[in-house]
Amino acid sequence: MRIPHATNVFWLILLFMTVMPRLDAASAPSLEGQAFTITIFSEPKKVMDKLTFTAKELGCAAIGNAKIAYTVTPDPKHPKDLNFSAETKDAQGTLIKITGTASGKIVSGTIDFTLKSGVKKSLMFSGAKAGGGK
């Protein structure tokens, strides 16, 4: 005995399974293509820099223009704000960790350096979207 709608149900389930991952990816929070002009507060002076985000990496001169993989999550208290974080080690073994929040056209956060010897240095930054950012 053949069930006439079984084939249709099969195709609908298959369509649903292939479309849903694309919808999730499209609605995932993203900083891709954005760039921010930031001020890094370093004693005894302030340093201007540019923080850029590609699809998978962020970069700025303060970290030696390295490109570091980052993650983005919506802020639980303010869902329109995006928290980001990235971590890597440079060639000298220094651990570099960047954490921050992008809130519309504004960004702020910290860059933490932990030397191989254990000495730590933390720099705060803040800024706004640079020209050409989304």
Taking only the tens place, the pLDDT of each residue in 101-118 is 999 999 999 999 999 999
Comparing 127 with 132, the larger pLDDT belongs to 127
- How do residues 42-96 score in pLDDT, each as one tens digit? 878 899 999 999 999 999 998 888 899 999 999 989 989 999 999 999 989 999 9
Cα–Cα distance measured from residue 53 to residue 59, given in angstroms and rounded to the nearest whole number: 7
Q: What is the DSSP string of 4-33?
A: TTHHHHHHHHHHHHHHHHHHHHHHS---TT
pLDDT of residue 23: 44
What pTM, to 2 d.p., does this model score? 0.75
Phi, psi angle pair for 19, to nearest 5°: -85, -40
